[in-house]
Amino acid sequence: MSNIAVKRIHCDVRELNRNPSRQYSAAPLEDNLFEWHFTLRGPQGSDFQGGLYHGRILLPPQWPMKPPSIMFLNASGRFEVGKKVCLSATSFHPEHWQPAWGIRTILEALVAFFPTPADGALGALQWRPDERRKLALESQTWRCPCCGPIAELVEGGADERVLADGETASAAFDAPVLPWDEGRAAAPAAAPAPAAAAPAAAPAADDAVREVVPPTPDPAPAAPAAPAAEETKSEPAAAEEAKAPEPAVAPADESLKVHVELNGVQVYFKIKRTTRMQKVFSALATRQGVDVTSLRVAFRGARVGGLDTADIVGLRDGDRLDAEVIEPEPEPAPPVAPPPPARDAAPATPVPADLLIVDSLIAVVSVALVAVVAHKYLAA
C-alpha cells in the first residue's frame, strides 16, 4: 500500500467533507480505503430526474497516478449493473487520465454522462425513456448491503427540490476535458458605482488572463512582548494554535493569482477558476517570445493540458506552475538519389539463331566440296 495513495485518499475525503454537494456523496469503506461507495442524483431535465444511483469506485494501489474502475450497483437504464463502466476517466482509458483529477472530478463526470447516448460503449445501456423514468422512481427506495438506504446518503434524500440552480451537471463529457464549468449560475452583477466616483475599468471576462505585478512580501511586524502576568498556556492549546488553518476553496467566480516559472523567470497571472489553461499558455508564450506549441507546463509533476481549467488542475491562490521549452526535433534530410551509371558503348545486337544455322551449313558444304575436288585431283 503506497503512502502517497493513502495521503491522497485522505485529501479527497477532507475535500468532499469541507465542500459537500447536494448532487452526490461518496466515502471510502471503513475496512478498505481503496473502495469507495457513491450516490448520485439523476440530472434534472432528463429521464433520470428524481433517481438515486449507487455504485463503487475501486482505486488502484498507484492512485492517483493511475485511473480507477467504476461500476454501478442499482439499475438505471444507462449503465449495466455490476459491470465496469468505460469512460474517459476510468481504467479503460489510462492515456486520458490526469493525476490532478480526484473523486469529485469523477463524480461530476458521471453525472454529466447520464443524459448522453450510449453509442455502444462497454457497460452502457440505451433503454427507452419510460423504462428509465420507472427505474428512477424505484431507485429512491433501493438499499445497499454495505451503506444501507441510499436515500439517506445524500442531502435531502429522494426530494429533488433541494437542488439549487446550476448545481446539476448536464453537459457532455469529452476526454480529456471535464464539464467542470458548464451549467454554473452566472455571477451576480456588480452594483453601479456612485456618480461622484471615478469611472472604474471594465471588469475582465471570466476566462480573461491578466499579468500582474509579483507580490512584494511585507515585513513581518515585531511580536509584542507578552506580559509577565500572562498565564502559561497548556500544551494542547498551544498545539491547536500552532496548526496552520487549511486553505479555503475559492468559489468559482473568484480570481486566483498563479505564477509560471520559465527558464528561471517567474511570470504572475490573475485568472478565474474556470479559465482554460491554453489562455495562460498563449499569454506566457507572447510574454516570453516563444512558440506556444513548444511550451510544456506541469503542476506538481503532472503535465497540464491546454483544455483543462484551473479548477480541474487543482490550482489555488499562489500556486506555481513549471514551464519548459521543448526544442523541435530536426527534420531528417531527404535521401540523395545515387547518380545514374555511366553510359558505355551500345551493346552488340545479338545474331538471330536462324542466321547462325545457315552460316554453319555453308561452312560444312564448302569443306565437303574442297574434299571432293582434292580427291579427284589426287586420283588423276
Long-range residue pairs from 326-333, CB within 8 A, at least 24 positions apart, any chain: 326/294, 326/295, 326/296, 327/294, 328/294
Closest CA to 106 of 85, 80, 127, 81: 85
- Count CB neighbours of 255 within 10 A: 16
Count the residues in the chain: 380
- Spatial strand order in the sheet of 69-72: 24-29, 32-41, 52-58, 69-72
* Residue 86 annotated to the active site: yes
User: Which member of 86, 144, 146, 147 is catalytic?
Assistant: 86
Query: What Cα–Cα distance (Å) separates residue 307 from each residue in 119, 131, 177, 313?
Result: 24, 36, 6, 10
- Count CB neighbours of 238 within 10 A: 10
The set of catalytic residues is 86
